[in-house]
Amino acid sequence: HSEENYSLGTKLRLINYEFADNMLNLEEEITEMIKDSVRLSEKGSLSISDYSYIKSDLEILMPFLNKALDNKLKGVNILLYGLPGTGKTELSKTIADVLGTKLYEISYADSDGDPIEGEARLRLYKTAQALFFNSRTLLIYDEAEDIFESYEGGFFMMPKQQSDKAWLNKVLENNNVPTIWITNNISSIDNAIIRRFDMSIELPIPSKTQRKEIIKKYSKGILEEQTMEQLSEHESIAPALISSAVKVSEHLPEAQQSKAFMQLINNTLKAQGYEEVNANKAAALPSNYSLEFVNTDTNLEELVEGIKNHSSARVCLYGASGTGKSAFAKHIAKSLDKSYVIKSGSSLMSKWVGETEKNIANAFREAMEEEAVLIFDEVDGFLAERGQAKVNWEVTQVNEMLVQMEKFDGIFIATTNLIEHIDQASLRRFDLKLEFKTLKPEQLEKIFISYAKELNIEAPTSLELHEIRSMKKLSPGDFATISRQSKFKKIDSTAEFIKRLKEEQKLKKEKDGGSMGFIN
């Protein structure tokens, strides 16, 4: 056998020095002796009901693990995989709580905080198997990428002098203590190895509704409904992050709790490299929204009614920035009494190969689970013409988009300012391509009067209306910008409003070196 060929030094190699020191202190409990090597996990902060979106998997897993613990079954291994922050470690803790068992974690850092390398961690794992084989215990091997990616050949391939498939089989087939293995990178595991796990369970990003329910449950009443809605839009806010923010903010005066909570959340998101939650970001439609302020060649009211009568539609809205494309997509959702899932091109794009495709697939899955209208803003960012692609991943993300569009049986709306850059095959998948143009003279008049009421200024005179109607290349977005501007730079007259519009118009002319247009 290959094990007989291992050197004496390999057989006698220390797990680590802390372990050796602790073993010499025989007066301590065994858990105290191994505390730097195998740590008792803290109790989970979630309940099993918070994982209802993988209910069918849990209905199989929980009875199986319970039987394995009762009957001391050998070779029980569960693989949990998914994107970072989806709650894999937290689920492991919850499983242990429900089964009434202790959960021990194989340490990935020593007492000095230095990382323990993959081979050393495996020795810790084998030691834990020997120590706990007679107790009702689960082991968790978290952050297992050090094993999946450390050795040439993939998951669990030992260094060349020890590469032995029999050893690998022995690890996964003869362990005495049921083990939960966790990875963020399922692609690093060879298919032949995946088959050796009793169950492989993906933890997807929970849907927006599920995220909101978790936030509401664990924020302990310190958040307003609007704040919870904003937080639920963010896919990277893990339940553990909510619990940590509550733990700190609940000790502050009540008037400060909500603001402190958001600051704590954003500090962590920023540290993780994620987009922060913008409490001032306009999510809903403007209070004065009207289809009268949208310039297209299609009767939009009839279009909305047509979409109402069908459960499936794929629409591409294109045109200059600010012409109301995203607002109209939200209007469709509101008219259908549906929620919407909105993703920007920048939020879907990832610097990691394959992650953009996963983000696209997750967005479609979330919209399907929510029965929501799916809106992709700035879709040109990842649907570039494949013939112009410089690298392979630019092609694969377009392919993934096409696959998901074909599978999706709901309402999908994409918006773009640059339709000429979009892959032609992708454009053919849309049932309707609808151009949004800048405002016509009569629309300029109506939207000006509407915003004048919002700003509580006098109605324009006939002469001023004539001046307003003569303006070119203005969009609803320009009026919205000036309205927001008025919060810190007050508009107290119609003349001042007209002056601000002219400034916006001038900026567009300067940008283009003349008049600004899109598709004429």
* Res 317: pLDDT: 96
Residues 484 and 411 in one domain: no
pLDDT digits (tens, 9 = 90+) for 402-434: 899 999 999 999 999 989 888 888 888 899 999
Residue 96 lies in a domain: yes
pLDDT band (50, 70, 90) for residue 75: very high
Residue that terminates a domain, selected from 182, 202, 222? 202
Residues 261 and 338 in one domain: no
Task: Give whole-number Cα distances, 73 to 191, 199, 255, in Å.
Answer: 24, 15, 54
Residue 517 lies in a domain: no
Residue 212 lies in a domain: yes
* Res 467: pLDDT: 95
Q: 30: closest CA among 141, 130, 176? A: 130
Residue 282 lies in a domain: no
pLDDT band (50, 70, 90) for residue 32: low
Rounded-to-integer distance, Cα 358 and Cα 344, Å: 15
| 141 close to 125: Cβ distance less than 8 angstroms | yes
Mean residue pLDDT across the chain: 82
Highest mean pLDDT (candidates 225-229, 394-398, 476-480): 476-480
Kindly report the backbone phi and psi dihedral angles of residue 159, in degrees, each rounded to the nearest multiple of 5, phi listed first. Answer: -55, 155
Residues 114 and 95 in one domain: yes
Number of domains in the chain: 4
Q: 180: closest CA among 93, 113, 239? A: 93
Residue 389, class by beta-carbon neighbours within 10 Å (0-12 exposed, 13-18 middle, 19+ buried)?
Answer: middle
Residue 225, class by beta-carbon neighbours within 10 Å (0-12 exposed, 13-18 middle, 19+ buried)?
Answer: exposed
Residues 164 and 17 in one domain: yes
Q: Please count the residues of the chain.
A: 520
Residues 247 and 296 in one domain: no
Residue that terminates a domain, selected from 202, 233, 253? 202
Residues 97 and 181 in one domain: yes
CATH number of 193's domain: 3.40.50.300
Give the mean pLDDT of 123-138. 87
Residues 22 and 137 in one domain: yes
Residues 52 and 196 in one domain: yes
Q: Is 164 left (phi over 0), alpha (psi -120 to 50) or beta?
A: beta
In this predicted structure, the answer to whether residue 514 has a pLDDT above a threshold of 80 is: no
In this predicted structure, the answer to whether residue 28 has a pLDDT above a threshold of 80 is: no
In this predicted structure, the answer to whether residue 116 has a pLDDT above a threshold of 50 is: yes
pTM (two decimals): 0.62
Kindly report the backbone phi and psi dihedral angles of residue 157, in degrees, each rounded to the nearest multiple of 5, phi listed first. Answer: -75, 120
Angle 102-115-6 (CA atoms, 0-180°, nearest 5)? 85
Rounded-to-integer distance, Cα 159 and Cα 150, Å: 9
Angle 405-407-409 (CA atoms, 0-180°, nearest 5)? 90
| 313 close to 411: Cβ distance less than 8 angstroms | yes
Residues 432 and 445 in one domain: no
pLDDT band (50, 70, 90) for residue 348: confident
Residues 348 and 367 in one domain: yes
User: Which string of b and e fits 185-207 if b means at least 16 CB within 10 Å?
Assistant: beebbeeebeebbbebbebbbbb
In this predicted structure, the answer to whether residue 435 has a pLDDT above a threshold of 90 is: yes
* Res 255: pLDDT: 87
Contacts of 18 (CB under 8 A, 6+ apart): 36, 37, 110, 111
Give the mean pLDDT of 69-82. 93
Give the mean pLDDT of 258-268. 91
Q: Worst-scoring range by mean pLDDT, 10-24, 214-228, 363-377, 428-442?
A: 10-24
Residues 197 and 215 in one domain: no
Residue 1 lies in a domain: no
Contacts of 60 (CB under 8 A, 6+ apart): 199
For the record, the structure tokens of 278 come out as 């913008």
Residues 63 and 88 in one domain: yes
* Residue 261 or residue 206, greater confidence: 261
In this predicted structure, the answer to whether residue 46 has a pLDDT above a threshold of 50 is: yes
Residue 283 lies in a domain: no
Q: What is the DSSP letter of 324?
A: S
Residue 153 lies in a domain: yes
Rounded-to-integer distance, Cα 362 and Cα 292, Å: 35
* Res 45: pLDDT: 77
Residue 280 lies in a domain: no
Give the mean pLDDT of 46-73. 93
pLDDT digits (tens, 9 = 90+) for 134-185: 889 999 998 877 665 544 444 444 444 344 445 656 777 888 999 999 998 8
Amino acid, res. 365: R
Rounded-to-integer distance, Cα 147 and Cα 183, Å: 10
Rounded-to-integer distance, Cα 232 and Cα 207, Å: 9
* Residue 484 or residue 515, greater confidence: 484
* Res 329: pLDDT: 95
Rounded-to-integer distance, Cα 47 and Cα 36, Å: 28
pLDDT digits (tens, 9 = 90+) for 204-255: 888 778 888 888 888 888 888 888 888 887 877 877 788 888 889 988 998 8
pLDDT digits (tens, 9 = 90+) for 269-303: 888 777 788 755 545 688 889 999 999 999 999 99
pLDDT band (50, 70, 90) for residue 515: very low
Give residue 459's domain range: 441-511
Q: Worst-scoring range by mean pLDDT, 328-337, 344-353, 476-485?
A: 344-353
In this predicted structure, the answer to whether residue 19 has a pLDDT above a threshold of 60 is: no
* Res 153: pLDDT: 43
In this predicted structure, the answer to whether residue 82 has a pLDDT above a threshold of 50 is: yes
Q: 336: closest CA among 347, 344, 328? A: 328
Residue that terminates a domain, selected from 151, 176, 202? 202
In this predicted structure, the answer to whether residue 60 has a pLDDT above a threshold of 90 is: yes
Q: What is the DSSP letter of 277?
A: P
Q: What is the DSSP letter of 116?
A: P
